[in-house]
């Protein structure tokens, strides 16, 4: 138990986690490479700061809110792998297609904006299923470390993709060429995913973590959705949504970098790559702390988010770079260790549903945050800083309540 034996070959949980990480590494080269230049790319098509904020916020909103549908669908049908493959496929197709936007005349902005949102829709389709499969594998090695290692590999792609884009932009001076080049890692991500699918078709047996269901409860109705997600899960979702409102998209930040003359266009992907490296370090560090000391490490998240606008919207390069690194650390924490606590709060047979509901909270917050940052940016940063700070105070208060509540799965074997 704890290993996957397929066609005479045995894959340990760690090997499964690492291979999932390699898939994410290649896929992240694609969509993070594109996201590194989304703000300037949309601006080159005629978008204002508000439009950039709305489009990138809508993209992040779609990536999160639509999981409310794809998560329960995965648990209800059991088609975790099919949804994962379809979602990655959308990303692999949409990002290279963005390269055609400058060549369709007045429709360029509409085409570019649509493809940004469609790519994020692919994220929505795959993410609950992929996270559920990964949570099962990571249950045998410690979910904090498992999600942390996966995120670190993921961030290697998020680091190298923008660097690849930066190199292409520096050589050609064209954003669309860089988007076209991303077709190569897009194809690689699909090949790697199909290898994992062939070797590890079912991860249910890999989960060694105790089920987060109260003692004595009948599990027969969990898969049918008859067991409700616990109240502590919803409080946690609310806390992370409050943090997400303040964690504006990089599209808005990159718009500021160029429009304020802090960095040249060619340097924006490099700055984004540095943020992704920061996220990898944060994921690894907090994942290990989570497995040893529990969810208290997540109290760091609102503090990091509150610091971002104070630093990132400055005009001094060193201060702005510090803000971008803090932004990267916050996103790394939010996309790794946060997921470990979600898995520990809910029944394992409803993981995809939980990740979908959780993402819906974050999606609504991302849409609001993107529009808020874009609208307030033009009028000055002071109001934006105050609003974000207020949201983080609320997030911190909710997190304290969640961490003080006994968990449904607490008992022998729990280290939280």
**Where is average pLDDT lowest: 217-221, 279-283, 344-348?**
217-221
Average pLDDT of the segment spanning 188-197: 92
Task: Report long-range pairs for 121-124 (Cβ below 8 Å, ≥24 apart).
Answer: 121/62, 121/63, 121/66, 121/90, 122/86, 122/87, 122/88, 122/89, 122/90, 122/91, 122/94, 123/31, 123/63, 123/87, 123/91, 124/62, 124/63, 124/64, 124/65, 124/66, 124/67, 124/70, 124/87, 124/359
Distance between CA 154 and CA 170 in Å, rounded? 25
269-304 pLDDT, tens digit per residue, is 888 888 888 988 888 888 888 888 888 899 999 999
Distance between CA 125 and CA 305 in Å, rounded? 27
Q: Is the pLDDT assigned to residue 245 strictly greater than 70? A: yes
User: For the structural domain made of 10-204+227-404, what CATH number should be given?
Assistant: 1.20.1250.20
Question: Percent of the chain at pLDDT above 90?
Answer: 29
Q: Domain residues of the chain, as ranges?
A: 10-204+227-404
Average pLDDT of the segment spanning 227-244: 88
Q: Is the pLDDT assigned to residue 138 strictly greater than 90? A: no
18-27 pLDDT, tens digit per residue, is 999 999 999 9
Q: What is the pLDDT of residue 2?
A: 46
Task: Label residue 233 exposed, middle or buried (CB < 10 Å: 0-12, 13-18, 19+).
Answer: buried
Q: What is the pLDDT of residue 221?
A: 44
255-272 pLDDT, tens digit per residue, is 888 888 888 877 888 888
With bands split at pLDDT 50, 70 and 90, how would you rate the model's confidence at 380? low
Q: What is the pLDDT of residue 202?
A: 63
Q: Is the pLDDT assigned to residue 415 strictly greater than 70? A: no
Which residues, 6+ apart, have CB-to-CB distance to 79 below 8 Å?
A: 73, 129
- How many CA atoms does the CB half-sphere of 314 hold within 13 Å? 14
Q: Is the pLDDT assigned to residue 217 strictly greater than 70? A: no
142-158 pLDDT, tens digit per residue, is 888 888 888 889 878 87
């Amino acid at each position: 138990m704890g290993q996957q034996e397929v066609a005479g070959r045995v894959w340990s949980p760690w090997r499964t986690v690492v291979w999932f990480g390699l898939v994410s590494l290649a896929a992240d080269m694609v969509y993070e490479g594109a996201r590194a230049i989304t703000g300037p790319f949309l601006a080159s098509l005629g978008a204002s700061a508000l439009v950039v904020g709305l489009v990138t916020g809508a993209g992040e909103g779609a990536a999160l809110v639509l999981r409310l549908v794809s998560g329960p669908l995965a648990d209800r049908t059991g088609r975790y792998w099919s949804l994962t493959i379809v979602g990655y496929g959308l990303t692999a197709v949409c990002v290279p297609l963005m390269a055609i936007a400058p060549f369709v005349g007045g429709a360029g902005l509409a085409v570019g904006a649509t493809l940004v949102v469609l790519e994020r829709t692919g994220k929505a389709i795959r993410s609950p299923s992929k996270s559920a499969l990964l949570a099962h594998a990571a249950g045998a090695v410690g979910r904090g470390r498992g999600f942390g290692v996966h995120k670190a590999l993921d961030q290697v792609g998020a680091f190298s993709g923008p660097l690849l884009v930066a190199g292409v932009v520096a050589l050609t001076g064209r954003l669309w060429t860089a988007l076209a080049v991303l077709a190569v890692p897009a194809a690689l991500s699909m090949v790697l995913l199909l290898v994992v699918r062939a070797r590890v078709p079912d991860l249910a047996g890999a989960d060694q973590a105790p089920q987060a269901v109260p003692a004595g409860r009948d599990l027969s109705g969990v898969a049918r959705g008859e067991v409700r997600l616990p109240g502590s899960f919803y409080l946690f979702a609310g806390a992370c949504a409050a943090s997400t409102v303040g964690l504006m998209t990089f599209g808005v930040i990159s718009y500021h970098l160029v429009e304020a003359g802090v960095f040249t266009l060619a340097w924006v992907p490099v700055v984004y790559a540095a943020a992704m490296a920061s996220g990898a370090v944060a994921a690894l560090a907090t994942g290990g702390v989570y497995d040893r000391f529990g969810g208290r490490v997540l109290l760091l998240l609102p503090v990091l988010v509150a610091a971002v606008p104070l630093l990132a919207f400055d005009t001094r390069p060193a201060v702005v770079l510090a803000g971008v690194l803090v932004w990267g650390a916050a996103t790394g924490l939010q996309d790794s260790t946060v997921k470990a606590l979600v898995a520990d709060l809910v029944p394992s047979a409803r993981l995809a549903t939980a990740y979908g509901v959780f993402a819906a909270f974050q999606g609504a917050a991302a849409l609001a945050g993107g529009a808020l940052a874009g609208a307030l940016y033009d009028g000055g940063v002071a109001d934006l800083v105050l609003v974000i700070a207020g949201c983080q105070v609320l997030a911190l208060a909710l997190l304290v309540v969640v961490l003080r509540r006994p968990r449904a799965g607490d008992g022998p074997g729990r280290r939280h």
